[in-house]
Amino acid sequence: MTQLDVTEAAAGATVVRNQARVRRRKGLNGRSIAVLVFLTMCALFFCVPLYVVLTTSLKTMEEIRQGQIFALPETWTLEAWNFAWNDACSGITCEGLKVGFWNSVRILVPSLILSITLAMVTGYALALWEVKWAGTFLFLLFLCAFVPLQIIMFPLIAITRTMGVYGTIMGVAVVHSVMAMPVLTLIFRNFYKDIPREIMNAAIMDSGSFWKIFVEIILPMSGNILIVVLILQITNVWNDYLVGVTFGGFNTQPMTVNLANMVTVSTGTATYNVDMAAALLTAIPPLVIYFMVGKFFVAGITAGAIKG
Amino acid sequence: MPRVSFEHIVKSYGGLNILEDLNLSVDHGEFLVLLGPSGCGKTTLLNLLAGLTDVTDGRIMIGERDVTELDPKDRGLAMVFQSYALYPTKSVRGNLKFGLSAAKLPREEVARRVDWAAKLLQIEPLMDRRPSQLSGGQRQRVAIGRALVKHADVLLFDEPLSNLDAKLRTEMRLEIMRLHDELNPTVVYVTHDQIEAMTMATRIAVMNGGVIQQFGTPDEVYETPANLFVAGFIGAPAMNLKKGHIAKANGGVAGVFETGERIVLDDYAFARAPEEGAPVVIGLRPEHFGAPNAPIGDAAGRFELPLQHTERTGSDATGYLHWGDGLLSHRVEPGDAARLRPGEKISVAFPRGKANLFDAASGERL
Ligand SMILES: Nc1ncnc2c1ncn2[C@@H]1O[C@H](COP(=O)(O)OP(=O)(O)O)[C@@H](O)[C@H]1O
Ligand SMILES: [Mg+2]
């Protein structure tokens, strides 16, 4: 449609150009109403709860007890945020969410490095080098990608115990990496598959070294897909609860587990403002990542290895 | 002296033989062109030489070395690819340098060679650009530069000009010939373009269906095609090929076309004495015909046929005459072509000693 308009305009006939413009505006109007209604509904659906959570976290408990959940805070206070971060109790420790936050960071970094490095090199080998049984291996990976964690949970506990990492930060990171490997490998493999054969042939004739070609030629071409995988993996690991609660030790649980304990186990009256603040604190890191690299994410999904 | 030879090469993909018992060798400093239609196995043969695919059977020698089992980087070759295959994230300089990464050279030597290639190919102003910032012709120069810096004894080209427009193609053709004259490497050059083959090669290997049909100098391939395939493939417009038979009369030999015309074959160098009535295919090159409606001194045959149309290709023109159920093409002066009218009966003469004869059954040259 746009293509047609462009060609018509290029033909230079004023009448045709005017018609095209009218047609385009009309079409936009018709559709845009439906789109606007839909978007507004979506926005409300997400925004109303967010509004409640945000305002509640900024209120004092007395105000909350009055029960007007849609009202703006009378006195704005960051007291609940401060308490949630520094002092809130989770189980018997009362050091706030910051413990869980740093645990999550310490889980995230090694699991990202481990899973992405492994998946990338495996994908590169499968896509661009002659690997024996590559087809079978790919099929197995494909199957593995559909196995839910619950099914292999007990064997995994046994394995991590034998390895001596059960209940440690490293244990959680390793399990995350293992679970992510099949999908990530398939993603990298499919991305690298589109690298023209001749570029690979040229590199093989020029250097012949698996690692040198990877580091100097392939890695620099992987920017787009790396962003995609990073976002996927950061969100996955950060938002995970099950792996953290199963494989994390007493003091090595991630932020989500920390949050859950805080909200459910606290004795006495529920401190809604603290709970809301804690929930928001937990949700902030992935949000920050989205805002920082979100636009690359879309570009990365749609772009191939070679531009122009 | 490096001499490249293929000995009894077999290559099959999943039981399907692409190349079967292929033998070919080329001397140092030669410019060998592998010429053939798309899908005939040219790239396969080149990749076997480069080591990018493994032979199913046979031996490849470069000089005194058996390279059949060697890794590509150890074969002492450099290659220019059809799609240029430049590394998209590296600058032009980076591309040239990476070409040397297997050689483990001292840094000054690398810099010296890169500068040398840049100068030779006039790409000095482009050295810090990315491939995506270059035009097709410039990319091709960089690709050639990346091959040249290796100082390899043998240079391989896989249809390097097929992505360029006609004018650039002519320019790059001259450029590659100049480089060959200056540096004198052994070149194996793959193309489906007969003009490239005829102009650049010192030797042409014409391939079809994985088999080398003829191996010889451009003149040999053009003047004495070894079989019907080569005869039909080389030359534009193509050679006129028409069925007929041998007729002997009072000591002379003649060919009789199935349409009835006769052509004297007394000057033809028969490999074996022909038999009376033997079925043959007679080939007549369009450019050997005399001017329309003008007598020539030593005519071997004469054709009086109605004109279908004329075609002008720049400096040349071709007339097409209805001949049996096909056409007879003959070169005409562009000035004369304008005067000929379709439907008009035209008489063209063919000179002695220029016809090509092939066995009708086997297609081999007689
Ligand atoms: N990797 C492969 N697997 C199966 N068949 C192949 C492969 N590569 C090439 N071929 C086949 O080999 C034949 C020759 O191909 P190629 O050498 O690329 O031809 P050319 O370069 O002369 O156009 C073609 O029929 C092609 O289908
Ligand atoms: Mg090819």
The pLDDT of residue A10 is above 80: no
Q: What is the DSSP letter of A75?
A: S
Question: Of the ranges A63-67, A82-86, A241-245, A255-259, which one carries the lowest mean pLDDT score?
Answer: A63-67
How many CB atoms are closer than 10 A to CB A130? 8
pLDDT of residue B338: 84
Q: Do B50 and A201 touch (CB under 8 A)?
A: yes
Rounded distance from Cα B225 to ligand 1 centre (Å): 26
Any CB–CB contact under 8 A between B262 and chain A? Answer: no
User: How much is the pLDDT for A308?
Assistant: 37
Q: Looking at the structure, give the CATH architecture of the domain made up of residues A98-302.
A: Orthogonal Bundle (1.10)
Instruction: Look at residue B86 in the predicted model and tell me its pLDDT.
Output: 94
pLDDT category at A28 given cuts 50, 70, 90 is low
- Taking the CB of residue A13, how many other CB atoms lie within 10 A of it? 12
Ligand 1 pocket by Cβ (under 6 Å) = B 13, 18, 36, 38-44
Of A198, A216, A307, the CB nearest to B82: A198
Among the bound ligands, the one closest to the CA of B209: 1
Distance (Å) from the alpha carbon of B36 to chain A's nearest alpha carbon: 21
Asked whether residue A128 carries a pLDDT value surpassing 80, the answer given is yes
Ligand 1 centroid–CA A305 distance in Å is 25
Minimal Cα–Cα distance from A213 to chain B, Å? 10
Give me the residue spans of the domains in chain A.
98-302
Give the Å distance between the CA of A122 and the centre of ligand 2.
30
Residue-wise pLDDT for A100-123, tens only, equals 999 999 999 999 999 999 999 999
Q: Which fold has domain B240-359?
A: OB fold (Dihydrolipoamide Acetyltransferase, E2P) (2.40.50)
Q: Mark the ranges of chain B whose per-residue pLDDT is less than 70.
A: 1-2
Distance CA B280, CA B315 (A): 34
Q: Which residues in chain B have Cβ-Cβ distances shorter than 8 Å to A220?
A: 89-90
Instruction: Determine contact, residues B198/B218, Cβ cutoff 8 Å.
Output: yes
Q: What would the mean pLDDT of A126-149 be, rounded to a whole number?
A: 90
User: Residue B99 has what pLDDT?
Assistant: 87
Task: Give the total residue count for chain A.
Answer: 308
User: Over 50: is that where the pLDDT of A5 sits?
Assistant: no
Q: Does residue A21 carry a pLDDT above 80?
A: no
- Which atom from ligand 1 is nearest to the alpha carbon of B47? 17
Q: Quote the CA–CA distance of B42 and B193 in Å, as a whole number.
A: 12
- Chain B residues with CB-CB distance to A204 below 8 A: 52, 72-73
Confidence (pLDDT) at A24:
55
- Show the tokens assigned to B45: 């043969």
- Which residue is closest to B97 within chain A, CA to CA? A206
Return the closest-CA partner of residue B139 out of A207, A194, A308: A308
pLDDT at residue number A64: 84
* C-alpha distance from B24 to closest chain A C-alpha (Å): 23
- Domain ranges for chain B, please list them: 4-230, 240-359
CA nearest A129 in B: which residue? B52
Residue of A nearest to B76 (CA): A205
pLDDT at residue A282 in the model: 92
Indicate the SS3 state at residue A15. Answer: helix
Please name the residue of chain A whose CA is at the shortest distance from the CA of residue B155: A205
Could you say which of A196, A199, A205 has the minimum Cβ distance to residue B77?
Answer: A205
Residue A66 contacts by C-beta under 8 Å, 6 or more apart in sequence? none
pLDDT at A9: 39
Q: What is the mean pLDDT of residues A40-64?
A: 89
Cβ–Cβ below 8 Å for A221 and B81? no
Average pLDDT value for residue range A71-84:
86
Question: Ligand 2 mean position to B157 CA, how many Å?
Answer: 10
| Chain A residues lying within 8 Å of B51, measured CB to CB | 205
Closest CA to ligand 1's atom 17: B41
- Give the integer Cα–Cα distance in Å for B248 and B254: 6
What pLDDT score does B190 carry?
A: 96
Query: For residue B13, which ligand has an atom nearest its CA?
Result: 1
Q: Which atom of ligand 1 is nearest to the CA of B36?
A: 22
Tell which wins on pLDDT, B279 or A250.
Answer: B279
Q: Which residue has the tokens 């060919």?
A: B255
User: Which of B6, B10, B13 gets mutated to test ligand 1 (max ligand atoms within 8 A of its CB)?
Assistant: B13
Residues of A in contact with B50 (CB under 8 A): 201, 205
Q: Which residue among A205, A220, A308 sits closest to B73, beta carbon to beta carbon? A: A205
Residue type, A200: M
- Between chains, do A217 and B90 touch, taking CB under 8 Å as contact? yes
Write out pLDDT tens, residues B91-125: 999 999 998 987 888 999 999 999 999 999 999 99
CB contact under 8 A, A220 and B90: yes
- Outline where chain A has alpha helix (H): 2-11, 14-57, 61-65, 79-86, 98-128, 134-144, 149-163, 169-193, 197-206, 210-213, 223-239, 242-247, 255-265, 272-302
Q: pLDDT tens digits for A263-308? A: 876 566 678 888 899 999 999 998 898 888 877 777 766 665 555 3
More confident residue, A207 or A68: A207
Read off the tokens for B60: 């490849």
Q: State the pLDDT at residue A267.
A: 62
Q: Whose CA is nearest to atom 3 of ligand 1?
A: B13
pLDDT at residue A20 above 60? no
State the pLDDT confidence band at A8, using cuts at 50, 70 and 90. Answer: very low
Q: What percent of chain A has pLDDT over 90?
A: 44
Domain B4-230 homologous superfamily, CATH: P-loop containing nucleotide triphosphate hydrolases (3.40.50.300)
Which among A200, A204, A205 is the top mutation candidate for probing chain B, defined by the most B β-carbons within 10 Å of its own β-carbon? A205
pLDDT at A265: 61
